[in-house]
Amino acid sequence: MAGATAPIAAVALAGGTTTAEAAPADPLSDKMQDTAHVRAYLESARF
């Protein structure tokens, strides 16, 4: 569902437990994007 350039899940770096920063939104994309807003929503959502 998500494009290869904007994965939804946080990407853990191989060397440690740090996660990648959320990217700025691309207004031309029609895919779900990895932004701070989406991350906050996914953290608060109850599935």
Whether residue 6 is predicted with pLDDT greater than 50 in this model: the reply is: no
The whole-number pLDDT of residue 18 equals 66
Q: Which residues of 10-47 are buried (b: 16+ CB within 10 A; e: fewer)?
A: eeeeeeeeeeeebeeeeeeeeeebbbeebeeeeeeeee
Q: Cα 4–44–1 angle (5° rounding)?
A: 20
The whole-number pLDDT of residue 16 equals 54
Residue 44: pLDDT band (50, 70, 90) is very high
Q: Give the model confidence (pLDDT) of 19-38 as tens digits.
A: 788 888 898 999 989 999 99
- What is the residue extent of each domain of the chain? 1-47
Q: pTM here? A: 0.48
